[in-house]
Amino acid sequence: MTYRPAGHLRLTPVDEEAPRRAQRLRRLGLGERPDPEFDAFAQRLTQVTQAPYGMVNFIDEHRQFFAGLHTPTGTFTGTYPGGRSAGAEGGLPRFLARDHGYCPHVVVRRKALVLEDVCDYPRFAGNPVVDEIGIRSYLGAPLIDRTGTVLGTVCVADTRPRPWGRAGLDTIKAMAAELVDKIHRYEDGTPPAV
């Protein structure tokens, strides 16, 4: 863990695998544009967990990109390839800085993260998504592909504390494994049906 010059705990861990991840994402053609199939997967995440936010998040050296995104209103900013609107203005952006949210922690840790109430953890309570979006709970798992590269995460979040429990942890890990399998099939020449 590193500290900022002002003496505050740094919110985002150092990610030494970021260049390798970015190269792998480019090779797979992921992390640059929204995908309606990933949006459908994010929506399914919210349905299964009954959380208002669901995301398929790919992370490179500089930013996070929600290739799949579902919000409480079903709206978000961004466009699908070809310029077709991805939703009304006023929702989450498709890109976030690496110091926003909890997915960068999942990627560096290489294991799932369960935060039933982010305010219970000083390290996480000061994250910008708490004030900017109102996030109070988070559940995420890494997308580790066949090369051992953590491509990103699948995650859900809520604006109220949530007792995710063991069932929530098992669910998010199973859904991450399902999506990695679909990405592998896509890489092998079979388009994923997410």
DSSP string, 65-129: EEEEEE-TTS-BS-B-TTS-B-S-TTSB-SEEETTSSSHHHHHHHTS-EEES-GGG-HHHHTSHH
Q: Residue 6: which residues within 8 A CB-CB, separation 6 or more?
A: none
- Sketch out the chain's domains with CATH numbers: 18-187 (3.30.450.40)
* 56-88 residue pLDDT tens: 999 998 899 999 999 988 655 444 333 333 333
Q: How would residue 11 be classed by pLDDT, with cut points 50, 70 and 90?
A: low
Q: How would residue 32 be classed by pLDDT, with cut points 50, 70 and 90?
A: confident
* 93-121 residue pLDDT tens: 788 888 888 899 999 999 999 999 999 98
Question: Which pTM was predicted?
Answer: 0.83
Q: Residue 16: which residues within 8 A CB-CB, separation 6 or more?
A: none
* 162-186 residue pLDDT tens: 999 999 999 999 999 999 999 999 8
